[in-house]
Amino acid sequence: MSLTNDDIVWYHSMLSSLDIIDSCGEFSNVPFIGTQGGINYNPALARRQLGFPLRDKPNNTQLEAKPLTLPNQDIKELEDTLAKMKQERDIWEERFHALSRKHEELQLESKDKDALIEILEDRPMKRQREPEGPSYSSVPHPSGAWKKIVDQLVLEKAQMKTSFKTEI
């Protein structure tokens, strides 16, 4: 046994005295213009949200359930469409896996470069902490060279991150 229009009370007597703007001329949507711009007011939606009764009774066809079946189509057509969809899905899966592998490689490379940057940044600090005394080394002080290497690694890391973001 299914519901019909006569089984449902569509109007509540207490709400019949209130007026609601239902339309703007022939248009069902009502534009409201304010100081900050305008909005579109849909009276059918507002009635539903505010718990007011419907303006008119709905058609019985809207209350009846319809079977969800595909229209009669050629089976060959459906099989071809399914094959194309599977092929497209496989292509997207391959792209996803390739990008995932590349992402993992870039993350590992980024971690390696981060570790190297930390090591290189710690070395000059250790040298600065050592007491300054006569230096017997014939090798010049490499702080400028280390600074260039660290700057280059930081630049490469930033370029890798931006290139990865643009690929995604």
Residues 15, 93 within the same domain:
no
pTM across the whole model: 0.32
For 106, the token pair is 């870039």
Residues 6 or more apart whose Cβ sits within 8 Å of residue 42: 28, 29, 30
Residues 82, 120 within the same domain:
yes
Per-residue pLDDT tens for 86-96? 999 999 899 99
CA distance 163 to 48: 49
CA distance 78 to 70: 11
Per-residue pLDDT tens for 76-113? 888 888 899 999 999 989 999 999 999 999 999 999 88
Residues 103, 157 within the same domain:
yes
Which residues span the domain enclosing 84? 75-127+142-167
